[in-house]
C-alpha cells in the first residue's frame, strides 16, 4: 500500500510539473484540448491538463522586423533595378495566426516579396527615387490588407536600397553634372544682373558729384602703384571725348572736300594738256598733215599725240644734222 501511494505521489508530482507553464508578458498561449481550441491563456503561470489532454502553442505579440530579400524588378520605363526592403509587423490575434495560416512568418515574407515586385514594376525610376515615402505607404497598405485575415497588423514598410546598373548610374551622374552647371550659369547671370544694377546706381550717384569720380580715380591709381610695377597713368578727363569726336568729324568732312577739289583740279589739268597737245596740229602744213594722216585717221587722241611727237622728233633730228653738214662744207672750202 505504501508503495502504491509513493508511486502515485511521484506520478502526481511529475504530472503537475509538466502541466505548469510560465508565459512572459508579451506571450500568449493558444490551447488545444483534445484537438479543440480553448480560450487564450497568459501571461503568467498557466495550468494544462496533463497526459496530453491539453497542448499549447506559444505566440509572441512583439513587433517583428523581417528583411525582404533583394528583388529584380523592371520598372515601367524599362529600367532593371534590384530593390530590397524591411517589413515591420506584429500578431494582433494569436488564435487566427495559428488557426488560419500554417506558418504566418513564411507567409508574410512571401506576400511582402510579391507585393514589392508588383508595386515597383508599376512605377517609373524617377518616381521611385524621388517619392520613396509614397511607395512605402502603398506597400504597407497592400501587405496589411493581405495579412488582415491572419490576425497580423503591418506597422511599416521601408524600401532600403535601389540598386541601379552601372550604365544608368553614369547617365544619372552626367545629368546631375549638367544640372549643376545650369544652376551655376543661372547664378552667374543673376550676379551679373545685380552687378550691372549696382553699377548703374553708382554711375548715377557719381554723376551728381563730379569730384567723387576724381577721388575714385586717385584711389585706383594708388592701388595700382602699390603693386611695385612700372605702369604710368596719364589721367584724361572724359569730357574730352565729345570734343575729340567733333574734331574727327570735322577733319573727315574737310578731307572729303579737299579730295573733291583735287579731283576737279586734275581733271582741269588733263583737259589743258589735251588742248596743248592738239594746238601744234593746226600749225602743221598740209604736207605734214597728209604725212600724219597717211597711215589713216587716228583712232583716238593718244594716237594723234604720238604721231605729232614722232614728227617733231624727226624735225629736230633733221635740223641738227643740217648745221653739221654746213660746217663740214665750210671746212672743205
Q: Please give the grid coordinates belonging to residue 168.
A: 544608368
- Decide if 95 contacts 37 (C-beta within 8 A): yes
Classify residue 231: in a domain, yes or no. no
Whole-prediction pTM value?
0.55
280 and 306 fall within a common domain: yes
| pLDDT for the residue numbered 317 | 56
Classify residue 145: in a domain, yes or no. yes
175 and 156 fall within a common domain: no
73 and 145 fall within a common domain: yes
Domain that holds residue 198: 170-210
What distances in angstroms separate CA 177 from CA 65, 126, 130, 138, 164, one per listed residue? 38, 17, 18, 32, 18
CA distance 113 to 85: 9
55 and 17 fall within a common domain: yes
Classify residue 87: in a domain, yes or no. yes
33 and 114 fall within a common domain: no
Q: Mind listing the pLDDT tens digit of every residue in the chain (333 residues)?
A: 677 777 777 777 777 777 888 899 999 999 999 989 999 998 998 888 888 888 999 999 999 999 999 999 999 988 899 999 999 999 999 999 999 999 999 999 999 999 999 999 999 988 888 889 999 999 999 999 999 999 999 999 999 889 888 888 888 889 889 999 999 999 999 999 999 988 888 888 877 877 777 777 777 777 776 666 666 666 666 555 665 566 666 655 555 555 566 666 666 766 666 565 555 444 444 445 545 444 555 555 566 667 666 765 665 555 544 444 444 444 444
| Residue where a domain terminates, one of 155, 183, 210 | 210
Classify residue 226: in a domain, yes or no. no
Structurally, how many domains does the chain consist of? 4
| Residue where a domain terminates, one of 147, 164, 181 | 164
Classify residue 216: in a domain, yes or no. no
Residue 103, SS3 per DSSP: coil
The closest alpha carbon to 143, from 176, 179, 114, 123, belongs to 114
Classify residue 233: in a domain, yes or no. no
Amino acid at each position: 500500500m505504501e508503495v502504491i501511494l509513493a508511486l502515485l505521489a511521484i506520478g502526481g508530482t511529475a504530472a503537475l510539473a509538466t502541466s505548469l507553464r510560465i508565459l512572459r508578458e508579451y506571450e500568449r498561449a493558444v490551447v488545444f484540448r483534445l484537438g479543440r481550441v480553448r480560450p487564450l491563456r497568459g501571461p503568467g503561470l498557466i495550468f494544462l491538463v496533463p497526459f496530453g489532454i491539453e497542448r499549447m502553442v506559444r505566440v509572441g505579440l512583439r513587433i517583428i522586423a523581417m528583411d525582404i530579400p533583394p528583388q529584380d524588378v523592371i520598372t515601367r520605363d524599362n529600367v532593371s533595378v534590384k530593390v530590397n526592403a524591411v517589413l515591420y509587423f506584429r500578431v494582433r490575434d494569436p488564435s487566427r495566426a495559428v488557426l488560419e495560416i500554417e506558418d504566418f512568418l513564411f507567409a508574410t515574407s512571401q506576400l511582402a516579396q510579391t507585393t514589392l515586385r508588383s508595386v515597383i514594376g508599376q512605377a517609373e525610376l524617377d518616381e521611385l527615387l524621388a517619392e520613396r515615402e509614397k511607395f512605402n505607404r502603398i506597400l504597407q497598405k497592400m501587405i496589411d490588407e493581405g495579412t488582415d485575415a491572419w490576425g497580423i497588423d503591418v506597422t511599416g514598410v521601408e524600401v532600403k536600397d535601389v540598386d541601379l546598373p552601372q550604365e544608368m548610374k553614369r547617365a544619372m551622374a552626367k545629368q546631375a553634372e549638367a544640372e549643376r552647371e545650369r544652376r551655376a550659369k543661372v547664378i552667374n547671370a543673376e550676379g551679373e544682373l545685380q552687378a550691372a544694377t549696382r553699377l548703374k546706381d553708382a554711375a548715377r550717384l557719381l554723376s551728381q558729384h563730379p569730384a567723387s569720380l576724381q577721388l575714385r580715380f586717385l584711389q585706383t591709381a594708388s592701388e595700382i602703384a602699390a603693386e611695385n610695377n612700372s605702369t604710368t597713368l596719364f589721367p584724361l578727363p572724359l569730357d574730352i571725348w565729345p570734343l575729340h569726336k567733333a574734331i574727327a568729324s570735322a577733319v573727315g568732312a574737310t578731307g572729303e572736300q579737299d579730295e573733291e577739289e583735287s579731283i576737279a583740279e586734275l581733271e582741269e589739268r588733263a583737259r589743258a594738256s589735251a588742248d596743248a597737245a592738239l594746238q601744234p596740229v593746226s600749225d602743221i602744213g598740209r604736207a605734214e598733215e597728209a604725212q600724219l594722216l597717211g597711215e589713216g585717221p587716228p583712232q583716238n587722241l593718244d594716237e594723234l599725240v604720238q604721231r605729232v611727237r614722232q614728227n617733231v622728233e624727226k624735225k629736230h633730228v633733221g635740223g641738227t644734222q643740217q648745221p653739221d653738214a654746213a660746217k663740214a662744207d665750210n671746212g672743205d672750202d
